[in-house]
Amino acid sequence: AFMAPRVDFGKSQTFRAGPIDKFTPNDVSEEYKASQKVWIVRTSEKIVALSTVCTHLGCTPNWTGNEKKFKCPCHGSGFYGPRPGVEAGVNFEGPAPRPLERYKISLTDDGQILVDKSQKFLFEKGEWSNPESYLAC
């Protein structure tokens, strides 16, 4: 079984998350954590779609709103949540070697947020500055 990829090619890699106003500034929406494995994070400046897969060994971190961080229960990796002066998803504690991945995010003609999980953006490659990796608010 380890030779076969764990990808369901029949499942769509895009989904509509709703209008921008649906998401609270400086907060994390967990609405799509279980179904799409995506957090929608809104700061005062932008909205991003973060992967819920820890970059250490692939566990699923938990959002801890009171501490404003994503904390992986498997090995203790921590990633920043939305806060001034720091990009949400950047690793700061534990063994995770790099930040969480972002997915392509855009607006449809009718004002809906569209997340495309087939395109990822990596912080360590400087791809988070790509305008397709975030929506300006």
- Say if residues 105 and 20 touch (Cβ distance below 8 Å): no
Structure tokens at 95: 């063994």
* pLDDT at position 24: 95
Decide which of 8 and 98 is more confident. Answer: 98
- Say if residues 68 and 90 touch (Cβ distance below 8 Å): no
pTM metric for this prediction: 0.89
Pick from 95, 11, 89: which is nearest to 51 by CA? 89
Q: Note the residue count of the chain.
A: 137
- Asked if the model's pLDDT at residue 10 lies above 80, the reply is no
Angstrom distance (rounded) from CA 49 to CA 40: 5
Q: What is the CA radius of gyration of the chain?
A: 14
pLDDT tens digits for 91-103? 999 999 999 999 9
Pick from 93, 87, 69: which is nearest to 124 by CA? 87
Pick from 59, 63, 54: which is nearest to 29 by CA? 63
Cβ within 8 Å of residue 111, ≥6 positions away: 19, 20
